[in-house]
Chains A and B, each alone.
Chain A
Amino acid sequence: EVQLVQSGAEVKKPGKSLRISCKGSGYNFTSYWINWVRQMPGQGLEWMGRIDPSDSYTNYSPSFQGHVTISADKSISAAFLQWSSLEASDTAMYFCARGDYASGRYYIPLRSWGQGTLVTVSS
């Protein structure tokens, strides 16, 4: 069974750094992109970017480029989302999601999801 398990909720002060994780199991971790999606309180879904765990190639949304870093460690089947200096506006739920093929030919970029990590940034 494919599983994505994310790290636990975080409470941080503005200006602090943070790294949250998404650990994959039940499949070959290097075979599928991992995406990160933000959901601010009471709001919709925003795609932040993705990483190919096989070579750590990344692709960011322009809205998030330069503000977050996506990385992966294939030796432990984990992807990461990192901030060097948090802002109050980073308060949100963050989901990782894996792409997959259906019926052997239709690609679904966000087919399997982690449970989400709630990040709260407050002084």
Chain B
Amino acid sequence: DIQMTQSPSSLSASVGDRVTITCRASQAISYSLAWYHQKPGKAPKVLLYAASRLESGVPSRFSGSGSGTDYTLTISSLQPEDFATYFCQQYYSTPYTFGQGTKLEIK
């Protein structure tokens, strides 16, 4: 199985801040990476796929980058609705695997 190591596990930030979350895969995953956010009691929602492509309807303040084993999610200017838990997921091979999650909280 491909292991996904996500950091940080939690993050405290203010509205307007720029934040970055990283994911490292245990082997190269050839851009087969998606980012999700999840609010309490709700299903996850795709933000980005193929490492850097923005899902339809997702604000442009979200961006992704990376290659090989290392990937990054950046939120350029935090909005109140962005406080949630974020997960990365590799889909290079099954079993698909997720990072442990990053809980983004209001400072």
Taking beta carbons and an 8 Å cutoff, which residues of A are in contact with B?
Answer: 35, 44-47, 49-50, 59-63, 95, 97, 102-103, 106-111, 113-116
Contacts and interface: CB of A to CB of B under 8 A. Distances in A.
B50 A110 contact: no
Contacts of A95: 43-44
Nearest to B94: A59
Number of chain B interface residues as a range: 20 to 34
A44 B34 contact: no
B107 to A, nearest CB: 22
**Interface majority SS on B: helix, strand, loop or mixed?**
loop
Given A44-B101, A59-B94, A102 B56 contact: yes
Contact of B34 (A46, A59, A108): A108
B45 interface: yes
Contact of B91 (A61, A63, A109): A109
Nearest to B96: A47
A97 to B, nearest CB: 8
B82 interface: no
A60 B96 CA distance: 10
B89 A113 contact: no
B80 interface: no
A102 B49 contact: yes
Given A45-B87, A62-B1, A116-B43, A106 B53 contact: yes
7 contacts: A45-B87, A46-B98, A47-B94, A95-B43, A107-B91, A109-B91, A116-B42
